């Protein structure tokens, strides 16, 4: 599609030019070339990027902390042997590959997103250690954002709340309630929909597609005597 052009103010004496939908790595639908259908829009940029426009941002870098929580050695061995996790070196290499891909396939306005590992000073049940780590990352490191350093060791909510309260983005937590995210500064991003959204979508689907209709996929071919296919569906909730 056609691009739109404009000028943005800078923090220095110069200015910058931005054109959406244009650029050297732009595909036919106006998005950046890459492996994802949902790649970000093409943006052509030139000029002054404004320098230090926010916490963890300089003229040429954006600092993201990779928060690495300790994992019990026995638990780690079980996860690795079951192929549910990898060794630290492999995990770090995967993060680096994703970082390079993101820098090469998104417009960062002359800056490079860089990762810095921060090894937690306590385990995920040590709230005081996590609060102290959050203060160090926000006040000393002055990071732009924090991400989980290992999917097998997710960031606890106490840490997420502490960094968010200090204006640091936390790309962490998975599918907590909508209320959790709404009651806090808008700096915490889940990688999946909230549990509230999941529940709402499931309830709507059940009400519109399943309720009052026969259980035609009930598996009567395996046990013809049950005769469930001609019976209306029944629903229940299991709390774990």
Question: What is the tens place of the pLDDT at every residue in 76-97?
Answer: 889 888 888 888 899 999 999 9
- 3-state class (DSSP) for residue 8: strand
- Please give the pLDDT value at position 221: 86
When pLDDT is cut at 50, 70 and 90, the band that residue 117 belongs to is very high
- The pLDDT of residue 14 is 63
pLDDT at position 2, please? 46
Mean pLDDT across 197-207: 95
Question: Is beta strand 61-68 parallel, antiparallel or unpaired with respect to 112-119?
Answer: parallel
Across the range 9-36, mean pLDDT stands at 79
1, pLDDT greater than 80: no
pLDDT over threshold 60, residue 41: yes
Q: How confident is residue 5, by pLDDT bands cut at 50, 70 and 90?
A: very low
pLDDT bin (cut points 50, 70, 90) of residue 35 is confident
Q: Is the pLDDT of residue 198 over 90?
A: yes
Task: Give the model's confidence band at 227: pLDDT under 50 very low, under 70 low, under 90 confident, else very high.
Answer: confident
150 touches 71 (CB < 8 A): yes
Q: Which residue has the tokens 């820098």?
A: 103
Question: In the 8-state DSSP scheme, what is residue 5?
Answer: E
Task: State mean pLDDT over 198-224.
Answer: 91
Cβ burial of 193 (10 Å; 0-12, 13-18, 19+) is: middle
Q: What does the alpha-carbon distance between residue 29 and residue 196 come to, in Å, rounded to a whole number?
A: 33
118-149 per-position pLDDT tens digit: 999 999 999 999 999 999 999 999 999 999 99
108 in Cβ contact with 93 (< 8 Å): no
Per-residue pLDDT, 199 = 93
Q: What share of the chain is helix, strand, coil (3-state, %, to 5)?
A: 30, 20, 45
Kindly report the CA angle at 79 between 77 and 82, in degrees rounded to 5?
Answer: 105
- Asked if the model's pLDDT at residue 24 lies above 70, the reply is yes
Average pLDDT, the chain: 90
Cα dihedral 14/19/22/24 (nearest 10): 10
Q: Are the C-beta atoms of residues 66 and 116 closer than 8 Å to each other?
A: yes
Q: What is the pLDDT of residue 193?
A: 95
């Amino acid at each position: 599609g056609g691009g739109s052009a404009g000028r943005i103010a800078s923090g220095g004496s110069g200015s910058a030019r931005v054109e959406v939908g244009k650029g050297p790595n732009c595909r036919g639908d106006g998005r950046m070339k890459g492996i994802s259908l949902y790649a970000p829009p093409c943006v052509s940029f030139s000029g002054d990027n404004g320098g230090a426009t926010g916490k963890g941002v300089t003229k040429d870098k954006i600092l993201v902390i990779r928060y690495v929580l300790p994992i019990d050695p026995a638990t780690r061995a079980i996860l690795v042997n079951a192929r549910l996790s990898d060794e630290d070196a492999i995990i770090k290499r995967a993060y680096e590959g994703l970082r390079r891909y993101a820098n090469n396939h998104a417009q960062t306005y002359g800056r490079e997103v860089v990762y810095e590992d921060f090894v937690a000073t306590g385990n995920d049940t040590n709230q005081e250690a996590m609060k102290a780590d959050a203060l160090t990352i926000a006040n000393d490191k002055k990071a732009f954002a924090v991400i989980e350093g290992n999917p097998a060791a997710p960031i606890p909510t106490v840490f997420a709340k502490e960094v968010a309260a200090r204006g640091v983005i936390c790309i962490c937590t998975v599918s907590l309630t909508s209320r959790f995210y709404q009651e806090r500064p808008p700096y915490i991003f889940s990688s999946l929909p909230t549990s509230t959204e999941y529940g709402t979508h499931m309830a709507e689907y059940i009400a519109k597609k399943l309720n009052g209709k026969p259980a035609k996929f009930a598996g009567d071919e395996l046990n013809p005597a049950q005769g469930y296919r001609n019976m209306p569906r029944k629903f229940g909730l299991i709390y774990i």
